[in-house]
Amino acid sequence: MLFAFSVAPTTTEDATASMSEAVAEAVRVVRASGLPHETTSMFTTIEGDWDEVMPVVRAATEAVLAVSPRVSLVLKADLRPGRSGELRGKVDRVEHRLQHGLAADPGGGTTDGDDDEVVAS
């Protein structure tokens, strides 16, 4: 299962409104968890099951609360129990389709774009 979250202070101490210090503390918690993760400019995505990921999200949120009296948390999840390796797998499948010219097929499979052969998804 994949959990993408964004946690940030709603107030900052200076006029630049920089949140990087607080966000770095949250990312430090995620890295210390040992779970597969990826941090982008807007979200950090963690792979694991509920019981592994939720304590990490909570601890990351608490790390930001330590430097701000008010915090915003956004959480999004892709729940597919039994799947693993999806942090890269989802991206790899999209890249494969783009590199091989595969297009969506109304029947639920894909076509390769050259000879309309349907490939099971």
Percentage of the chain exceeding pLDDT 70: 86
> Domain range holding 9?
2-82
Q: How far apart are CA 75 and CA 98, in angstroms?
A: 28
- Give strand ranges (E) for 18-81: 37-39, 44-47, 71-78
Considering the domain boundaries, does residue 44 fall inside one?
yes
Band of pLDDT at residue 65, cut at 50, 70 and 90:
very high
Residue with more model confidence, 102 or 43: 43
Task: Work out the mean pLDDT of the chain and round it to a whole number.
Answer: 86
Find where tokens 């019981």 sit.
51
Per-residue pLDDT at 67 exceeds 50 = yes
Considering the domain boundaries, does residue 101 fall inside one?
no
Number of structural domains (the chain) is 1
CATH code where residue 42 lies: 3.30.70.930
Residue with more model confidence, 112 or 89: 89
> Which of 81-85, 102-106, 113-117 has the least mean pLDDT?
113-117
Give me the mean pLDDT over the 63-81 stretch: 94
